[in-house]
Amino acid sequence: MESIFRDERRILTVSTYVDDYMGVGDLYIGLPAILSSKGIARVLKLDLDVTERELFVRSARVIKNALSNIEHLWAAQ
């Protein structure tokens, strides 16, 4: 909050919506971003090797599957 209020433009890890980030889309996920007084000024691209990229995509898939399961449970109520 301090970084936003003071417009410090600091790099912090935040949960943000991605549409196409390393093949991951339609998901909120934690990524490094520059925060300004207007919120997220820019999401930074991670410099990942092949293995790290695969793990990132796999993590996103796990999150999406968990959300899908929650949505199905919610709809069943």
| Average pLDDT value for residue range 48-63 | 97
- Per cent of the chain over pLDDT 70 is 100
Q: In the predicted model, is pLDDT for residue 34 greater than 80?
A: yes
pTM exceeding the 0.85 threshold for the entire prediction: no
Q: In the predicted model, is pLDDT for residue 75 greater than 90?
A: no
Amino acid letter, 10: R
Range of the domain at 22: 2-76
User: Domain holding 58: CATH number?
Assistant: 3.90.110.10
| Count of domains observed in the chain | 1
Asked if 21 and 53 count as a contact pair (C-beta separation under 8 A), the reply is no
Strand partners for 27: 18
